[in-house]
């Protein structure tokens, strides 16, 4: 849809509210994600975190759910990557049920600061009451997105609720300190079952950014074989719990590579391969990749790396050597939201190339600010992220949220209106 059509549509929408018109469930047809009418769907979305310490979707003390969703919609975005922590489900199932938003803020921020944020949340979002639980806020957010025709992609971001991701955070890999494997599977089943009540629910990422844990667990070595066993086992359980959901598989090294999956290369010495047609639910499987190579100096190089890291699953040319043709979505990328970075090689390249290859994407990130992140309250989403992997600095990331600290406006209007909007527009016209 062109931007003008989107604008016209949203004007009509607000005059004549009706039920959501998204055609779920989604499924996979070759390299395309299609809706229930068979029309192509290309995600053009953003991340909305709900997996940090408070386990509540962020920013509600600054803006109403509807105003934030309207901002996303005004750009023409069609999807939200809504992150959750397994810990929330553990609380629900093992610890006497979900806790209320108010209690959760008290726990995360202390009662003095928690009460202050609680008052602000109530002022901005009066529909959230003393008895509203965290998962009920996810429901409210999903409902607002449904009303504005935005798909929900759930993402299991972490086990223990906290800022992600490093090798030392205990959430890195199956069997890591907090990454309890049975609880992870149970948490996924619980969330996809719960999401059946959301008419716009579309997909789930089984695990965000699998990575080598600092301390190895002999039962779960850091190998493609472990990845294969765990991801396919969880995918079967998730499919059994909700046969409609798309299932996104993230790769190794912080989800920067899925290289052996499209090509069907051997994953271990026993010759195990990923064979799409061996899955009864092959029409529900999607690959997801992350990229923060913000120091890229050549688009050709960046694109060719992304291609061989997994985007080659989109290759349907006659000469293709791809064994498993599947959709691939760039579920994370991001860069500093100032007045110039959006014109640099990295941002320009992804803005052009991802729509050209007809791949979906969700940009890092919507916030704004966080209730609490890395122990700091009201943390402004402007950051430098250094991924240190066994003393090697692999990526140096400098990025920031789409929204300003108080969620009232774009952080860098140029980056959004002149940059991201173009990417959305070119994604949704194909």
Ligand X SMILES: *[C@@H]1O[C@H](CO)[C@@H](O)[C@H](O)[C@H]1NC(C)=O
Rule CB under 6 A: which residues touch ligand X?
32, 34, 38-40, 47, 49, 51-52, 81, 83, 110, 113, 157, 164, 275, 277-278, 331-332, 358, 362, 364-365, 377, 404, 406, 408, 430
Q: Report which DSSP code applies to 419.
A: I
d(CA 220, CA 201): 31
CB contact at 8 A, 267 and 228: yes
In the complex with ligand X, which residue's Cβ is closer, 34 or 422?
34
Chain centre distance of CA 30: 22
269 CB-near residues (< 8 Å, 6+ apart): none
In the complex with ligand X, which residue's Cβ is closer, 53 or 73?
53
Residue nearest to ligand X as judged by C-beta position:
47
Smallest separation, CB 266 to ligand X (Å): 11
In the complex with ligand X, which residue's Cβ is closer, 266 or 422?
266
Q: What share of the chain is helix, strand, coil (3-state, %, to 5)?
A: 40, 20, 40
CB contact at 8 A, 210 and 252: yes
d(CA 254, CA 6): 35
In the complex with ligand X, which residue's Cβ is closer, 133 or 331?
331
Smallest separation, CB 399 to ligand X (Å): 9
Residue 4 sits at φ, ψ, to 5 deg, of -65, -40
Helix, coil or strand: residue 383: strand
Smallest separation, CB 358 to ligand X (Å): 6
Residue 66, token pair as written in the block: 């509807």
d(CA 164, CA 414): 28
In the complex with ligand X, which residue's Cβ is closer, 5 or 39?
39
Smallest separation, CB 39 to ligand X (Å): 6
Residue whose entry in the numeric block shows the structure tokens 């051997």: 266
Smallest separation, CB 32 to ligand X (Å): 5
CA dihedral (230, 272, 250, 43) positive or negative: negative
In the complex with ligand X, which residue's Cβ is closer, 82 or 241?
82
In the complex with ligand X, which residue's Cβ is closer, 241 or 363?
363
Smallest separation, CB 94 to ligand X (Å): 23
Residue 114, token pair as written in the block: 């928690």
Residue 224, token pair as written in the block: 């493609």
Smallest separation, CB 16 to ligand X (Å): 28
Smallest separation, CB 113 to ligand X (Å): 4
In the complex with ligand X, which residue's Cβ is closer, 10 or 67?
67
Smallest separation, CB 406 to ligand X (Å): 4
d(CA 117, CA 112): 9
In the complex with ligand X, which residue's Cβ is closer, 206 or 241?
206
Q: How far is CA 423 from CA 70, 271, 415, 430, in A?
A: 18, 40, 11, 12
């Amino acid at each position: 849809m062109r931007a003008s059509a989107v604008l016209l549509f949203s004007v009509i929408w607000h005059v004549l509210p009706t039920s959501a018109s998204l055609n779920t469930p989604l499924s996979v047809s070759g390299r395309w994600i299609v809706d229930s009418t068979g029309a192509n769907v290309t995600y053009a979305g953003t991340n909305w975190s709900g997996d940090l310490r408070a386990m509540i979707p962020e920013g509600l003390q600054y803006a109403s759910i509807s105003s934030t969703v309207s901002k996303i919609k005004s750009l023409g975005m069609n999807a939200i990557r809504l992150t959750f922590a397994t810990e929330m489900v553990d609380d629900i199932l093992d610890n006497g049920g979900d806790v209320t938003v108010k209690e959760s803020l008290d726990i995360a921020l202390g009662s003095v600061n928690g009460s202050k944020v609680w008052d602000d949340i109530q002022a901005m979002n009066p529909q959230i009451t003393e008895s509203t639980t965290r998962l009920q806020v996810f429901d409210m957010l999903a409902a607002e997105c449904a009303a504005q025709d935005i798909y929900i992609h759930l993402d299991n971001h972490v086990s223990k609720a906290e800022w992600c991701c490093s090798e030392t955070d205990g959430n890195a890999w199956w069997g890591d300190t907090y990454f309890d494997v049975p609880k992870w599977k149970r948490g996924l089943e619980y969330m996809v079952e719960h999401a059946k009540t959301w008419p716009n629910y579309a997909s789930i990422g089984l695990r965000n950014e699998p990575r080598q844990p600092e301390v190895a667990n002999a039962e779960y070595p850091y190998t493609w074989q472990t990845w294969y066993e765990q991801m396919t086992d969880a995918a079967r359980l998730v499919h059994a719990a909700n046969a409609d959901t798309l299932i996104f598989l993230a790769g190794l090294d912080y989800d920067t590579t899925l290289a052996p999956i499209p090509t069907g290369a051997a994953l271990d010495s026993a010759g195990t391969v990923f064979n799409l047609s061996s899955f009864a639910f092959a029409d529900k499987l999607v690959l997801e990749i992350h990229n923060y190579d913000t120091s890229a100096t050549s688009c050709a190089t960046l694109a060719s790396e992304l291609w061989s890291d997994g985007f080659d699953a989109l290759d349907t040319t006659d000469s293709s050597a791809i064994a498993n043709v599947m959709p691939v979505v760039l579920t994370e990328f991001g860069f500093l939201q100032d007045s110039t970075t959006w014109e640099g090689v990295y941002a320009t390249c992804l803005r052009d190339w991802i729509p050209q290859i007809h791949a979906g994407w969700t940009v890092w990130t919507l916030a704004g600010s966080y209730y609490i992140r890395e122990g700091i309250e009201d943390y402004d989403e402007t950051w430098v992220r250094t991924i240190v992997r066994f003393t090697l600095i692999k990526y140096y990331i400098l990025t920031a949220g789409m929204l300003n600290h108080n969620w009232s406006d774009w952080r860098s209007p140029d980056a959004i209106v002149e940059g991201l909007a173009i990417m959305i527009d070119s994604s949704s016209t194909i």
